[in-house]
Structure 1
Amino acid sequence: MNTTPTHYDTAPEDRVSNVHKVIYGLGAFVNNLLAAAIGGMAIVLNLGLGMNPALVGLLGALPRLMDALTDPLMGYISDHTRSRWGRRRPYIFAGAIAAGVCFALLWQLPEGKSESYYFWFFLIGSLVFYLGYTIFATPWVALGYELTPDYHERTRLMAVQNFMGQLAYLLSPWFLWFMQDETLFNDLRDGASWLALIIAVAVIVIGVIPAIFLRERYSDIAVAENLEPEIEKISAWASLRHSLADFVQGFIITLKFSPFMKLCLATFMVFNGFMLVASFQFYVIIYYVFGGDQKLGAEYAGWAGTVSAIATFCVILLVSGLATRYGKRRAFFITTGISIFGYALKWFCYSPDYPLLLLVPAPFIAFGLGGLFTLMGSMIADVCDLDELATHERREGMFGSIYWWVVKLGMAAALAAGGFLLNATGFDVALGGDQAANTIFWMRVCDVVVPIIASCIAIWAIFSYPITEAKAHSVRLELEARRGKVE
C-alpha cells in the first residue's frame, strides 16, 4: 500500500526567500521570549517574595480572561484595517514597542510590600502588558499565514519561524540562574528587574523588524472581498453597531469551523501539557533530585532546557521532511508519539542518585513542541483558504487570534494548575529540602502523567482532520479561479 500522498511542486513565485523567512522568524523569537519570560520569571513571586503558589497561578491565569476578548478583537481589527502600510505592519511595529516597555515596568517590584500589594501590582501590570503583547502578536501571526499560498512552502516558512522562536527557549531556562546570581544582584527581586529591562530592549529592537521589511500578499484581495462602501454613508453609531455585529458573527463562524477547532484542541492539549511541566518540573528537580538545593537545581534545569532547545532545532528540520513525505497529519502523530515516550522516561531518569540522567528525556520531549508549532501554523494557513472559499473573506487575523488565545490559555491554565497542584501535593516552601515523601511522590506523578494524557487527547483530535495536500491544492485552484487569476 502506498502511504505517500499526492505531491505538488512549489512554483517559484510562491517561494518566500530565506532572508524573509528569517525576518518573519524574528517575530517568533520575540513572541516566545515574552511567553517564556512571563512564565519562567513567575517563580520569583513565590521563591523571591514568598507569595502563595496558588496566587502565582492565578496571576498567570486571570489576564487570559481579558485575552478572550482582546485577541479576537485585535484579529478582527487587523483583518479590516485599510492603510497605506497594510493590515498588519502598523500594529506589529507599535505592539513591539508597547509590549517591551510594559514588560520592563511590570518587574520593577518595590521592596518590602505585603503579599496583597504584590498580587494587585502584578495583576494590573499584567493586564496592561498583555494588551501590548496582543497588539504585536496577533497581526504578526496573521502575516505569516499570508506570506505564501503554497501547501509545502507554508510548512517550510513555519519551520524557519519555529526554529528562530526556539532560540528564546535556549535562553529562558537560564533566567532563574541569572536572577539569583549573588555577585550581580541583591536578591531575586532585584535580578528580575534587571532581566526584564534586558528582555524589553531585545523585544523592541527585534520586534519592529518584521513590520519594516515584510510585505502583505493578500492585502489587496482582502480589500476587494471585504469592501463595504455603504458603511461610510451611515452614522458613526450605526457603523459601530454594524462592526460589532460583524465581529460577533465572524467569531461564531470561526468557532464553528470544525477543522480549525481540531487544531485548537490539539494545540491546547500538547502545549498545556508541556507548560505544566515547564512550571512544575523546577520543583521536582530542585526538591526531589537535589533535595532542596535551589542553586544546583536551577543549574541542572538550565542544562535540561538547553538540551531540549538544541533537540528542538533538529526536530524542526525533520518535521518539514516528514510533512512532505507523509502529510502534516501523520507527521503530527509521529512527533507527538515520541514526546509521550519522553515524558514517560522522566519517571526513571529523574533520580537523586544519577542527576545527569535528567537530561535524557529532554530530546524526546522536544518532539512535542518542535512538531506542534511547525505543523499547526502551516495547517491553519490551509484552513484560512478553506474558510475564504466558504465566506469570501480573508480572516487570518481572526483565526490567528483565536488560535494563539488558545495557546496563551493553555499557558495560563498550566500556570494556574501548577500552583494548585503544588499545594495539593502538600508542598511547603518553608520546609526546603525536607518535603514529605508523599509530597515528592505526587509531584513526580503529576509531572509525568498529566502531559502524557494531554498528548493522547491531542492525537485523538487530529485523527479526523480533513485537509490533505490534494484537498489544499483543489481549494487553491478554486480560489484563484474565482479571483480571476487563472489564465
Structure 2
Amino acid sequence: MKHYKTPPEDIVPVVQKIAFGAGNLVNNLLPAALGVFMYFLVTAFGMNPFLAGLLAAIPRFMDALTDPIMGYISDNTVSRWGRRKPYIFIGAILSGILFMILWQLNPENSEMYNFYYFLIFALLFFIGNTIFSTPLIGLGYEMTTDYNERTRLMASSQIVGQLAWMIVPWFWYLIARPEIYPTEAEGVRSLSILVGATCIVLGILPAIFCREINQTNLESRSNLSFKELGSNLKSLIKGIKEISKNNPFMRLCGATFLVFNGFQTVASFSYFIIVYYMFKGSNADAGQWPAWFSTISAVVTAFLVIPIISWIASNWGKRRAFIIATFISIVGYIMKWWAFNPTNPWLILIPIPLMSFGIGGLFTLMMSMTADVCDLDELRNGIPRKEGTFGAVYWWMVKLGQALALAIGGAVLSLVGFNEEIAIQSVDTITKLRLADIIIPSVTALLAVWVMWNYNITEERAREIKKQLEEKRLSYNLKPKKDVN
C-alpha cells in the first residue's frame, strides 16, 4: 500500500486531541454510571423492577427521536462561536447538573413519587446529553481531513474515554461499603454529584480548545426557525434518505451493530460465570474479581489494543485493521472456556487482551471511517455537510441495538435456566451459559467481518475523494477548510 505523509495543516495538536478525548470520556462516563446506578434504583430506592425497566426504556425512545434532530440542528447552525461548540458547552453543563438532580431520590418517598420524579428528570437529562454528545461527535469528524490523522484522533479520544470503564466498575464496590456510605442510597446520591461535576468540567473542554471549520465556507444551510419548521423537517428526512443510500456507511452501521451488540448481549454473563461457576454463587468469595475483570479490560484496551489498532490501520488500512482485530477477539472469546477456571481465578486475565481487540478497535476505526464517509457524501450530494446527522444516525443505531441486546441477554439467561434466587446453579445451566457467552459474540463478530469484507473506501480512494472535493469547492467559490479563531 502506498503511504502518504499527513500535511502539517491536517495534524490535530495534542491539546485539541486531549480536549476532544475529555469530551469522549464524558460520553462514556455518563452512560456507564447510569447503568450502575439503575441497579440501585431497585435495591436502594425500592423501585418495582417493572417500573425500573420502564424508566430505563422510555427516555431512550425519546433519545432515538432527538438524536437526528440535534444532528440536523448542529449541521445547520450559524453562530460566531461555530456550529458545534455552543451546544457542546451548554450541553455539558446541562448534562452534569441534570445527572446530579436525577439521583437525589429518597427511599422514604412513595414509589410513584420516585417514579415520576425520575422519569421527568431522566427525559430532561437525555435531552441535555443529546445537546452535548451529538455535536461533539460531529466535531470529531471535521477536526481533520486526513485519512490517517482521523484514526489517530479517534484512537487518542478512545484511550481517554476508556478511563470511564476503569473507574465505574468500582462504584458497585464503593456503594456497598458501609464504612464509606451509611446506605446504598447515600452512596448513589453522593457519587452522582461527583460524576455530574466531573462531566461539566471535562465536557466544556472541547468547546474551549477544539477547532471547527470556518463557517464562512459553509453555504446552503437551512434557516433554523419555527417559520421554516416544515421545510426543515423535509430537509432532515431528505438527508436521512441520502445517508441510508450510502453503502459504505450502512456497512459501518451493520458491522457496529453486530460486534457491539453481540458483546453487549453477553456483557453481564462474565459476572454471573465468575460468581456462580468459579465461586459457587458466593458474592463474598468473588469479592473484587468482577470489578478487576472490567477494569483490566479497559486498561488493556486503552494502553495496548488501541495503539496497536491505530498502527495497523495506518499501515495496512482501516478495513484490514477491523478484520484482524475482530478475528483476534474471536480467539479471545473461545479461550474463555478454559480461562474461567474455578481452581485458578488468575486465568481469567489471559483472554482479556485478545477479547479487547473487538470493542477496542471497533469505535476507533468506525468513527474514523465515518469521517471518510462524510467526504463521500459531500462529493455525491453537495453541501451542507452532514457530520452531525451522520453521527446521530450512527449512534441512534448503537443505542437501539444496545436496548435489543439487553432484552436478548435477559432472554438468554431465562432460556438457559438461570435462577437468581439460588446460589448453586445446575451443571446444565452453567454449561449452556458458558457456551452462550462464547458463541453469541463470536458469531456476530464473524457476520460483521462478512459485512465489512467489501467496504471500499481505502486510503487511496479517500485521498482521491479529498482532492475532488477541493476542486469542487473551488468551483462554487469555497475555500479549503480553516480553523475558527
Structure 2 residue identity aligned to 1:65: F
Q: 1:199 aligns with which of 176, 180, 195?
A: 195
Q: 1:257 aligns with which of 238, 242, 246?
A: 246
Q: 1:274 aligns with which of 263, 266, 277?
A: 263
| Corresponding residue for residue 404 of structure 1 | 395
> Aligned partners of 2:221, 2:244: CA distance in 1, in Å?
23
Instruction: Tell me which moved more, 331-340 or 187-196.
Output: 187-196
Percentage of matched positions with identical amino acids: 47
Q: CA deviation at 1:428?
A: 3.6
Q: CA deviation at 1:434?
A: 3.1
| Corresponding residue for residue 386 of structure 2 | 395
Q: CA deviation at 1:445?
A: 2.9
| Corresponding residue for residue 212 of structure 1 | 208
Structure 2 residue identity aligned to 1:168: A
> Aligned partners of 1:49, 1:434: CA distance in 2, in Å?
28
Contact 1:28 1:161 in 2 (8 A): yes
> Aligned partners of 1:456, 1:58: CA distance in 2, in Å?
33
Classify the secondary structure of the residue corresponding to 1:346.
helix
Q: 1:421 aligns with which of 412, 417, 422?
A: 412
> Aligned partners of 2:458, 2:168: CA distance in 1, in Å?
36
| Corresponding residue for residue 182 of structure 1 | 178
Contact 1:171 1:306 in 2 (8 A): yes
Given the superposition, is the C-alpha separation of residues 192 and 421 from structure 1 closer, same or farther in structure 2, using an over 3 Å criterion?
farther
| Corresponding residue for residue 221 of structure 1 | 217
> Aligned partners of 2:358, 2:149: CA distance in 1, in Å?
21
> Aligned partners of 1:76, 1:263: CA distance in 2, in Å?
20
Instruction: Tell me which moved more, 466-475 or 50-59.
Output: 50-59
Contact 2:259 2:445 in 1 (8 A): yes
Instruction: Tell me which moved more, 329-338 or 345-354.
Output: 345-354
Contact 2:45 2:106 in 1 (8 A): no
Classify the secondary structure of the residue corresponding to 2:456.
coil
Contact 1:53 1:419 in 2 (8 A): no
| Corresponding residue for residue 282 of structure 2 | 293
> Aligned partners of 1:186, 1:291: CA distance in 2, in Å?
29
> Aligned partners of 2:261, 2:172: CA distance in 1, in Å?
21
> Aligned partners of 1:174, 1:299: CA distance in 2, in Å?
9
Instruction: Tell me which moved more, 353-362 or 207-216.
Output: 353-362
| Corresponding residue for residue 156 of structure 2 | 160
> Aligned partners of 2:332, 2:122: CA distance in 1, in Å?
33
* 1:302-341 correspondence to structure 2 within 5 Å: 302-313=291-302, 314-341=304-331
Contact 1:339 1:368 in 2 (8 A): yes
Given the superposition, is the C-alpha separation of residues 297 and 52 from structure 1 closer, same or farther in structure 2, using an over 3 Å criterion?
farther
> Aligned partners of 1:55, 1:43: CA distance in 2, in Å?
12
Structure 1 residue identity aligned to 2:265: L
Q: CA deviation at 1:44?
A: 2.5
Structure 2 residue identity aligned to 1:304: F
Structure 2 residue identity aligned to 1:208: I
Could you say what the CA RMSD is over the residues aligned between the two structures, in angstroms?
A: 2.3
Q: CA deviation at 1:68?
A: 1.9
Given the superposition, is the C-alpha separation of residues 411 and 84 from structure 1 closer, same or farther in structure 2, using an over 3 Å criterion?
same
> Aligned partners of 1:381, 1:483: CA distance in 2, in Å?
18
Q: CA deviation at 1:183?
A: 0.9
> Aligned partners of 1:240, 1:113: CA distance in 2, in Å?
42
Q: CA deviation at 1:409?
A: 2.3
Provide the aligned length of Structure 1 versus Structure 2.
474
Structure 2 residues without counterparts, runs of 5 or longer: 481-485
Given the superposition, is the C-alpha separation of residues 207 and 280 from structure 1 closer, same or farther in structure 2, using an over 3 Å criterion?
same
* 1:14-163 correspondence to structure 2 within 5 Å: 14-45=10-41, 48=44, 59-111=55-107, 121-163=117-159
Given the superposition, is the C-alpha separation of residues 347 and 40 from structure 1 closer, same or farther in structure 2, using an over 3 Å criterion?
farther
Q: 1:283 aligns with which of 253, 272, 294?
A: 272
Contact 2:46 2:107 in 1 (8 A): no
* 1:342-361 correspondence to structure 2 within 5 Å: 342-361=332-351
> Aligned partners of 2:177, 2:347: CA distance in 1, in Å?
25
Contact 2:71 2:388 in 1 (8 A): yes
Instruction: Tell me which moved more, 270-279 or 165-174.
Output: 270-279
Structure 1 residues without counterparts, runs of 5 or longer: none
Q: CA deviation at 1:63?
A: 2.9
Q: CA deviation at 1:406?
A: 1.9
Residue deviations 1:329-373 (CA, integer Å, cap 9, x gap)? 000001111111111222222222222222222211111111111
Classify the secondary structure of the residue corresponding to 1:217.
coil
Residue deviations 1:30-65 (CA, integer Å, cap 9, x gap)? 111112222233333455567676765554444332
Residue deviations 1:56-105 (CA, integer Å, cap 9, x gap)? 55544443321221000000000011111110001101111111122222
Instruction: Tell me which moved more, 352-361 or 364-373.
Output: 352-361
Q: CA deviation at 1:177?
A: 1.1
Contact 1:53 1:420 in 2 (8 A): no
> Aligned partners of 2:116, 2:419: CA distance in 1, in Å?
23
Given the superposition, is the C-alpha separation of residues 411 and 460 from structure 1 closer, same or farther in structure 2, using an over 3 Å criterion?
same
Residue deviations 1:90-132 (CA, integer Å, cap 9, x gap)? 1101111111122222223321567776665544443322211
Structure 1 residue identity aligned to 2:27: N
> Aligned partners of 1:341, 1:179: CA distance in 2, in Å?
35
Matched, 1:8 2:24: no
Contact 1:148 1:217 in 2 (8 A): no
Residue deviations 1:435-455 (CA, integer Å, cap 9, x gap)? 344433333233222211221
Classify the secondary structure of the residue corresponding to 2:4.
coil
Structure 1 residue identity aligned to 2:228: S
Given the superposition, is the C-alpha separation of residues 120 and 359 from structure 1 closer, same or farther in structure 2, using an over 3 Å criterion?
farther
| Corresponding residue for residue 483 of structure 2 | none
- Per the normalisation by structure 1, the TM-score is 0.91
Contact 2:23 2:206 in 1 (8 A): yes
Matched, 1:456 2:459: no
- Per the normalisation by structure 2, the TM-score is 0.91
> Aligned partners of 1:104, 1:122: CA distance in 2, in Å?
11
